[in-house]
Amino acid sequence: MANSRLGMMGAPVIVLKEGTDQSQGTPQLLSNIGACMSIVTCVASTLGPRGMDKLIVNGRREATISNDGATILKLLEIVHPAAKTLVDIARAQDAEVGDGTTSVVLLAGEMLKECKPFIEEGVSPHTIIKGYRKAALLATQKIRELAVTIDKSDKAAFRDLLIKCAGTSMSSKLIVSQRPFFAEMVVNAVTMLDAEDLDESLIGVKKIPGGGMQDSMLVRGVAFKKTFAYAGFEQQPKSFTDPKILCLNVELELKAEKDNAEVRIDAVSEYQAIVDAEWQIIYSKLEAIVKTGAKVVLSKLPIGDLATQYFADRDIFCAGRVPADDMKRVIQAVGGQVQSTTSDISPHHLGSCGRFEEKQIGGERFNLFEDCKAAKTCTLILRGGAEQFIAEVERSLHDAIMIVKRAIKNNAVVAGGGAIEMELSRYLREYARDIKGKQQLIISAFAKSLECIPRQLADNAGFDATDLLNKLRMTHAQGHKWDGIDIDSEDVRDNMEQFVWEPALIKINAIGSAAEAACLILSVDETIKNEQSDMGGGPGPKLPPGAAGKALKQRGMPRR
């Protein structure tokens, strides 16, 4: 009995299934920090006006050139579980604010780097987490105190603020050479939207290769590429003033009835009756559409050559096979509803706009709906040499649009170029001097981690980062709270006076997200990887060549 009890106590208890990888403790925590720091190295060189771009080629040999942090991390397809946290905060920053995606990843990585020595010396991660959360709270409160609020009542000054914010967000992008042109375009686009909700999905973007960047244009309404056209299309009018617009989900082609039915006949006369009925059905549909008074007819499904010619004879414009997203924006802009039948169409089902026109832009023809009645909307038509270049212009403009939107909703700004980070670092260092214990060291480490933004800006520009950071520490200690890196003269300057402005919300969101991500990674001390078995449909252990047949034979399974 005693032996059996000893045997039971001494035998290892297997809880996890065979093949499970389990690693824990301080080495695991340090490994996670190392993985996150390697992610930071990938995106660090993209920060700032002199940041470099990344060329990423995916499995289908499609190339993407970008310096947008969220885009790069999404394309890298990171599999490390802890490092994925940085991808998540970059995406959250992109969705919530639109810019500062590289900054948030850099800050999170630097916070982890600064606390690594404490972990190695045996400080509890919870002590570090407590200090970081306290420091992040103090930093965000300080940003709100320091932020400069611009008066919205002065329209000219407020518009000037929006242009400065849009220009600052473009300073690190490919379109920096045309910054004034695009900043003006972005501010015009956002101010066209309804002031209440500022729904950025109502700003459409169309890309046309060819021409220069300055050939890009802003359409005050909806624009989409001319759809596939049938015979008779050129006879249709291409311009209307104040037309009624009918949007359909109906196929207007003769073949529609023939393909969807099976009929058995005994005489030729019966076949003729069926043909006549098909013609009668489509003519009744077309007559019903004409009676609505609509001058522009759009459909998600094809509009055939008979219908196209019929509309052309009655001075009606039509377009079939309109893409779903374009149709959705047209409905939002002009009003009305998509109809799935041509019967019982009432006047309130139709939309309207001030002017409709078909126009040649570059090598493409576009249908333009301007002065829309239901919702304020606009479309950016982007031009450029290569498709990858235009795609990067689109990403840059998305950042600028989100920045302008946030600046309208929260009109508080701070100086960029590392100025606000240096001021927060100085404030937290001074705060740390007045407290006791380990928290003093941890808040000081948080303060030091904020300096990574001006240091990386200087490094990417090829400047002496140590010299510039020393100057910045000195000027901020003397009370110059808006001093930051001057990229143009390799020196420091008052960036608030030089109009390098960013919405305070970007910095609040970035510091809060980075601190939360760092705390999340510090709170993990064990990783368990559960391997899938080869019989469970997942990738099993790899067999050597020729061993597959033997494995099947041993299991009693027939070899195919």
- Give how many domains the chain has, as a whole number: 3
Residue 410 exposed, middle or buried by CB count within 10 Å (0-12, 13-18, 19+) = middle
Is residue 56 domain-shared with residue 134, that is, in the same domain? yes
Is position 548 within any domain? no
Which residue ranges of the chain lie beneath pLDDT 70?
1-25, 255-261, 374, 529-560
Among the listed residues 46, 71, 102, 140, the single catalytic one is 102
Q: Quick check: is 9 in a domain?
A: no
Half-sphere exposure of 423 (CA within 13 A, CB side): 25
Q: Is residue 113 part of a domain?
A: yes
Asked if residue 447 lies in contact with residue 134, where contact means CB atoms within 8 angstroms, the answer is: no
Is residue 399 annotated as part of the catalytic site, yes or no?
yes
Is 97 within a domain?
A: yes
527 is catalytic: no
pLDDT at 151: 77
Residue of 399, 459, 483, 486 marked active site: 399
**Pair (52, 76) in one structural domain:** yes
User: Residue 352 maps to which CATH number?
Assistant: 3.50.7.10
Per residue in 128-183, pLDDT (tens digit) is 999 999 999 999 999 999 988 877 777 888 888 888 888 888 877 777 788 888 88
pLDDT at 258: 54
Query: How far is the C-alpha of 240 from the C-alpha of 404, rounded, in Å?
Result: 34
Residues 213, 227: one domain?
no
Strands 412-415 and 148-149, by their bridges, are antiparallel
Note down the domain range covering 201.
155-220+384-410
Asked whether residue 238 is domain-assigned, the answer is yes
Please report the pLDDT score of residue 1 as a whole number. Answer: 47
User: DSSP characters for 189-255?
Assistant: HHHHS-TTT--GGGEEEEEEEBS-GGG-EEESEEEEE-----TTGGGS--EEES-EEEEE---B-TH
The pLDDT value recorded for residue 141 is 93
pLDDT of residue 441: 92
With 0-12 / 13-18 / 19 or more C-beta atoms within 10 angstroms meaning exposed / middle / buried, residue 25 is: exposed
Token readout for 198 is 């500022």
User: Can you tell me the distance from the alpha carbon of 212 to that of 384, in angstroms, rounded to the nearest whole number?
Assistant: 5
Active site annotation includes 292 = no
Are 345 and 460 in the same domain? no
Q: Are residues 226 and 370 in the same domain?
A: yes
Question: Which residue type sits at 420?
Answer: I
Name the catalytic one among 64, 68, 71, 486.
68
Question: Do residues 129 and 110 both lie within one domain?
Answer: yes
Selection from 346, 291, 296 nearest residue 316 by Cα: 296
Same-domain pairing of 273 and 320? yes
- Concatenating the DSSP letter of every residue in 354-382 gives EEEEEEEETTEEEEEEEEESSS--EEEEE
Let me know if 466 is a catalytic residue: no
Classify residue 15: in a domain, yes or no. Answer: no
Residues 502 and 361 in one domain: no
Which pLDDT tens digit goes with each residue over 523-558?
A: 887 777 666 544 444 444 444 545 444 444 444 444
pTM over 0.75, yes/no: no
The verdict on 358 and 325 lying in the same domain is yes
The answer to whether residues 233 and 363 belong to one domain is: yes
Residue in 64, 71, 85, 101 annotated catalytic: 101
- 252 and 238, same structural domain? yes
- Is residue 551 situated within a structural domain? no
Q: Has residue 552 been placed in a domain?
A: no
What's the CATH code of the domain at 400? 3.30.260.10
Q: Are residues 507 and 404 in the same domain?
A: no
